[in-house]
Chains A and B, each alone.
Chain A
């Protein structure tokens, strides 16, 4: 490469790097209100790392983003916290107070209605069976949300606490909690209002048994198409016929179908045309998280052991990040220390050739940040840091292998150009194979795993692809361009003739 071409190339690549730097590190706004700031957006949905940025990024609910998440304790019908019982008791007088006191039995910090107790004065079998069935549904719903660090605890034996990471939007957070905690039978009805709606009536089947909701509804799932989230309800053939009859006149006068779990209307759907399909996609103001949670609630209510125990949410709390408010900042500091140590090694051992590594590292890191920002399911977490570092290590080791090999060739008396050429020729397939193997392992792991491991694997897969491209193509180009501008090429690389080199 000639000097002019090299200089032009280096100017272009430097401008590109500077542009990416500005894009990654400086927040700016476009279209009036839309903000472009990768770091805050990337930190969403992480319960472990706290707020690591100072520009006052807030969630849609107006809270400062602090990582962590929300928890609510769900109490089954007939069970209340002792503090509520005491407050209620204090607010009543005379006979009313006595009756209220007689209604409940205290169990530690909980009060349970005596109706729910067995003969031995402990919660009865019916209540325990219904509670266990509800816990199973809670478990399925929280697990299938596939949210990192989501947790479910049984509190004081007869209540359930759900912890979900901050989803960045309070309305979504509410919808997800409500969907997770809504228990009861799944029912369908249609009419002009939820209260007066005509419910689906079950007739007797040929075998003498009564129909159930499973004869009409198969289940539900969520999907995102063209940026819109849908809850899709799958009906059986009988369910489709029923829907068709309910909506046969919908073109003339619209009809509202109510999808309820227990007494809660999860979806009120107004329909203006006859439905003839088995799958009914329902859009609304759903986000992907809320659509997924509502679909899960319907699916589990249809396909799990039914429970008629309804739950009420008390004791809500917003929790800070598990590792503390400065955890993310400290992770950035740690990342910076490691990056500086890596660059120091290259500049000490290879002098100005260290710039090749610097450019390679920046060309690796900045697109990684943009990719992590742009891919919806990726965000900054410990696993993401580890994956980015692992990719950077791959890049660094590949460069070290090539540099050391070139150093050896140069020591044997070859020109710097032929040393570089021979070195890349020698290591090309080795570096290629190692990157392909790591990327294969990473992407296959990503496709099967969920939560932290999938984020780690996908980020590492991206890192391996970028590292491979940079070390085999861009790094070589950078080296050629930079070296062509150097007067003493050996000194530029800190290579010496006839030096005693180790076996690389």
Chain B
């Protein structure tokens, strides 16, 4: 592990993190996140059918007429060379007495179509209306003019940034307060390194989603960043506890802060990986067992478990050691006492 954490490699890893974060910020500024899961800017074909269509069966096959209509709609969409995602909703109206929401008893089937043109949507609408009106179609479709209706529309999401900026401020303030406590309990070096790790992990996670364009729900990136920040603070706090224990330990007497940090990380890397692995396993199991939509929300959070492990092992110690050394030197200079050969050698470097 100590070989892995050579100065050159550390410099390389820090450079990689910096590049990823900067690239992520630039891409976010230009393109934002890929919030395709929200289906913003979608084109939707909406087929509404009455309670008669929903409840009556077609004679020949004894299939609900609504199901027959939906199957036909889907066949027409496929025939037009389009793919779709489907949502079924029930119709609601404002009650005529103006005090409640009432039922229209309609079934509304919305097909969100990928890459459809206005012309294609108009053609599809015409085809479905023609099918419903055709004498060969089930009678219930054209019993009255209100049994089946078709419309299409394009939506454009209006975004709210309030949750995002308040969340970002909340995480920043929360991290500063929590790491302030860490500073009081474990020293400035631990606090500074923890803050850097926490900021790195939250930003790296956000940057990753901005760069890779993984489709996410609009609220999700901040949640992932928050998970990364929480895991980061918890893992770094555990490492800080171990560093403090080692500093007090007789085994490490006479060693410099750099040496103690290095040896602590060297003896703890397995455990950091186990913690990150367990958190990742929990997220993976939760994502795999839960429903498909949940999977799309939960599985990207795996990154939020991986990044804190990386920063705790590489970024944190790389920040901790020079800060610790600077404080040790300052303290030694204040005391004006004997510095020690090793520290003197470090100072002369």
Contact = CB atoms under 8 A, between A and B. Distances in A.
Given A337-B285, A434-B238, A438-B234, A324 B291 contact: yes
Interface residues of A, number: 89
Nearest to B162: A143
B334 to A, nearest CB: 28
A26 interface: no
B101 A447 contact: no
A385 B286 CA distance: 9
Interface string A433-462: 110111011111111111111101100100
Interface string B176-191: 0111011001100000
Contacts of B227: 386, 390
A90 B240 CA distance: 77
Contact of A320 (B88, B118, B178): B88
Nearest to B161: A143
A171 B100 contact: yes
Interface stretch (B12-20, B53-61, B218-226): B218-226
B247 interface: no
Contacts of B301: 386
Given A156-B153, A333-B289, A317 B100 contact: no
Contacts of B153: 108-109, 155-156
B282 A393 contact: yes
B135 interface: no
A466 to B, nearest CB: 16
Interface stretch (B163-171, B254-262, B312-320, B336-344): B163-171
A32 B94 CA distance: 32
Nearest to B275: A397
**Count class of interface residues, chain B:** 35 or more
Interface in A268-304: none
B91 interface: yes
Interface stretch (B25-33, B63-71, B292-300, B322-330): B292-300
A95 B257 CA distance: 94
Contacts of B275: 397
A170 interface: yes
A110 to B, nearest CB: 9
A343 to B, nearest CB: 14
B286 A338 contact: yes
B166 A448 contact: yes
B230 A430 contact: no
A144 B161 CA distance: 11
A440 B145 CA distance: 62
Interface in A11-61: 48-49, 61
Nearest to A448: B170
Interface string A129-158: 000000100110011100011011111110
B99 interface: yes
B234 A161 contact: no
B137 interface: no
A503 B246 CA distance: 13
B333 interface: no
A173 B145 CA distance: 31
Interface in B98-114: 99-101, 104, 108
Nearest to A150: B160
B175 interface: yes
A430 B240 CA distance: 9
Interface of B: 38, 40, 87-95, 99-101, 104, 108, 118, 145, 149, 151-158, 160, 162-163, 166-167, 169-171, 173-175, 177-179, 181-182, 185-186, 219, 222-223, 226-227, 229-230, 233-234, 237-238, 240-242, 245, 267, 275, 278-279, 282-283, 285-294, 297-298, 301
16 contacts: A108-B118, A149-B219, A155-B155, A174-B101, A323-B293, A327-B294, A331-B294, A334-B286, A334-B290, A338-B282, A382-B294, A386-B301, A393-B278, A437-B181, A450-B166, A454-B170
